[in-house]
Structure 1
Amino acid sequence: MSMLRLDGVTVGFGGRAALDAVDLDVAEHEIVCVLGPSGSGKSTLLRVVAGLQRADAGQVYLAGKDQSGVPVHRRGVGLMFQDHQLFPQRDVGGNVAFGLRMRGVARAEAERKVAGLLDLVGLPGAQRRAVAALSGGEQQRVALARALAPEPRLLMLDEPLGQLDRTLRERLVVELRGLFGRLGTTVLAVTHDQGEAFALADRVVVMRDGRIAQAGSPLEVWQRPASEFVARFLGFDNVVEAKVRGERAETVWGGIPVPTGTPEGACRVLVRPAGVRFASEGLPCVVSGRTFRGDHVALTLRPEAGPELEAAAALQTAPGVGERMRVAFDAAEVVVLP
């Protein structure tokens, strides 16, 4: 059963479509992350679902019910924003209990629930702490507990970890996925961070100019980007024009093997950096850039013809800038784009 369904949702600002006839389903207990560059429509999508932005056309359904005209506070959704929006005059317990108080939950029950939620998000016994005394990560946990307190049927996150440092983001995203799994929470999250989305989501939605460019599991989207836009958005820049003949594609880099069954004719091909490998015979290149990435070295290669290539090499075997070599291509890392 769909917890959320968008049917042809359109929103325009100043003659430009921020959302252009968007259709989207989010199943019960599913975690969906919406990715896209600035201006792609991902935050507008979240605001329409929450009831903070009116749609010019189309419908939003929650648990099968049309939400047209339903105000924010009656939609049964939880909201968590990038800047936390905690109440500075209230302590931690007061912040978490806010939604419960608005719903008329008895004091004793609210206190019990607040204590349980703070345990759940890793802040046991923090009820009396001042918000100003909390670190960024702790404030994020309080905001999450507050959003979960009214038991929303849909939890929506807008750049939830955007203000945190990288190490803390990576740790919290793992904790969040585990927490949502234990609670069975249905989640719709918006983020610009691909790593965050791929670690958190059951399904990823990539947006471009108010439309959905691709939707699928993190593995599907990563392995088989549906267009050059999606490929480049994911950080893959080894894309060139090609003409497929049999099991090879002719390009400015020479012949590149393509997956069996690829239709013949003109196309564009993507070669992931992992598919550019050193060989005794192949395309002559010079190493023009070298970047340490922790577990590997990212290389920029300048071939005799065509655009530069990105490659990945093990720390122990990575060549230095200025070295000459030949490269070949691995068909398993080649994607034929429309």
Structure 2
Amino acid sequence: MLRLDGVTVRFGARVAVDAVSLDVADHEIVCVLGPSGSGKSTLLRAVAGLQPVDAGRVLLDGADQAGVPVHRRGLGLMFQDHQLFPQRDVGGNVAFGLRMRGVSRKEQAARVAELLDLVGLPGAERRAVAALSGGEQQRVALARALAPSPRLLMLDEPLGQLDRGLRERLVVELRHLFGRLGTTVLAVTHDQGEAFALADRVVVMRDGRIAQSGTPLEVWRRPASEFVARFLGFDNVVEATVSGEAADTVWGKVPVPAGSPQGGRQVLVRPAGVRLGDPADGLRCTVEARTFRGHHVAVRLRPDAGPPLEAECALRDAPDEGAVVGVTFTSDEVVVLS
């Protein structure tokens, strides 16, 4: 349904999007993830027609969109600040795109009522926008974007202004809603949790290029590079020499999965693969800090040699700060990076 073919966008001498090629299938939810300045929002604007493309092509259903204005691309757009019309009530906001298309008042009313019910705001047509909470405004903006039945819905940090608890609830609702409607979605966000909960496929960008693309499970389980691993919050990355099913590192021998790439590499050890035990066994470390993370405790360790390590364990098993422990590693939580 959407194909980007070598799309490049420049701002003077700076290349914001660098020869990006990407396909999005019908009914697929794709989240583009990356730090600030990675080019993800510029990529979204290029697809929408809000940003001219310096090279490459944007194709929708096989048709090149060069020269096609925003309002003729059949897209739904939703931005972080929602951009609702304060002078219009909820119904007036949701019906805006329908009015622009000349839909009759009766059909507008029916579609608005249907969508407000879908997004959890039944009967809210006459409510003032200013009287809505942030989460309610987000729902109205979503209903407005969906009203004209766009062939592609585009979201730019749609939940960025909401508190974490509300974001976590809404992202589950959004995935369920898009599944019911069969909506094709291209979203950009810097929030890993939001992307992994919403997407069928995650695309990680760095410096205007795609660093990795795959299902949430594939990207989480097997980051393609040190950049992707660290962006996802994994800091236990060291240089290594891999031989067979072991890696020689500054932390000593670390077991690696069978079939891992051999030779000079980098090794990622996820915190769940760092096991704490008796100081006489394994790598000797001192506990520097403990951080409560809800369902587990993150433990920062200082080895006698090498960079710090992060482990995670249950609250009841967390050692005290200043304690000395022995560390061993489990191969199923180790990734040899390419």
TM-score by length of 1: 0.99
Q: How many Å separate the matches in 1 of 2:33 and 2:261?
A: 30
Which residue matches 2:95? 97
Q: Render the CA deviation track for 1:124-146: whole Å, top value 9, x for unaligned.
A: 00000000000000000000000
Q: Is the 8 A contact 2:274 2:328 kept in 1?
A: yes
Q: How many Å separate the matches in 2 of 1:263 and 1:101?
A: 58
Which residue matches 1:171? 169
4+ residue runs over 3 A deviation:
none
* Equivalent residue letter for 1:86: L
Which residue matches 2:316? 316
Which residue matches 2:295? 295
* Equivalent residue letter for 2:56: G
Which residue matches 2:106? 108
Which residue matches 1:238? 236
Which residue matches 1:86? 84
Which residue matches 1:326? 326
* Equivalent residue letter for 1:277: R
Structure 1 stretch displaced more, 87-96 or 253-262: 253-262
Which residues in structure 2 correspond to 1:244-323 (within 5 Å)?
Answer: 244-280=242-278, 281-323=281-323
Q: How many Å separate the matches in 2 of 1:184 and 1:6?
A: 21
1:247 Cα offset (Å): 1.2
Q: What SS does structure 2 have at the residue aligned with 1:126? A: coil
Q: Render the CA deviation track for 1:51-81: whole Å, top value 9, x for unaligned.
A: 0001000000011111010000000000000
Q: How many Å separate the matches in 2 of 1:74 and 1:14?
A: 28
Number of positions where the alignment pairs a residue of Structure 1 with one of Structure 2: 336
1:305 Cα offset (Å): 0.3
Q: How many Å separate the matches in 2 of 1:14 and 1:258?
A: 46
1:262 Cα offset (Å): 2.0
Which residue matches 2:337? 337
Structure 1 stretch displaced more, 304-313 or 271-280: 271-280
* Equivalent residue letter for 1:273: P
Which residues in structure 2 correspond to 1:120-199 (within 5 Å)?
Answer: 120-199=118-197
Q: Is the 8 A contact 2:282 2:326 kept in 1?
A: yes
* Equivalent residue letter for 2:47: V
Q: How many Å separate the matches in 2 of 1:263 and 1:116?
A: 53
Q: Is the 8 A contact 2:211 2:224 kept in 1?
A: yes
Q: How many Å separate the matches in 2 of 1:14 and 1:329?
A: 48
Unaligned stretches of 5+ residues in structure 1: none
1:265 Cα offset (Å): 1.0
Q: What SS does structure 2 have at the residue aligned with 1:311? A: strand
Q: Render the CA deviation track for 1:112-132: whole Å, top value 9, x for unaligned.
A: 110111001000000000000
Which residue matches 2:35? 37
Q: How many Å separate the matches in 1 of 2:243 and 2:325?
A: 27
Q: Render the CA deviation track for 1:248-281: whole Å, top value 9, x for unaligned.
A: 1100100000111223211110000000002341
Cα–Cα, structure 1 residues 104 and 307, in superposed 2: closer, same or farther, change >3 Å? same
Q: How many Å separate the matches in 2 of 1:283 and 1:318?
A: 17
Q: What SS does structure 2 have at the residue aligned with 1:214? A: strand
Q: How many Å separate the matches in 1 of 2:242 and 2:55?
A: 42
1:210 Cα offset (Å): 0.3
Q: How many Å separate the matches in 2 of 1:30 and 1:254?
A: 44
Q: How many Å separate the matches in 2 of 1:223 and 1:53?
A: 34
TM-score by length of 2: 0.99
Which residues in structure 2 correspond to 1:205-224 (within 5 Å)?
Answer: 205-224=203-222
1:246 Cα offset (Å): 1.8
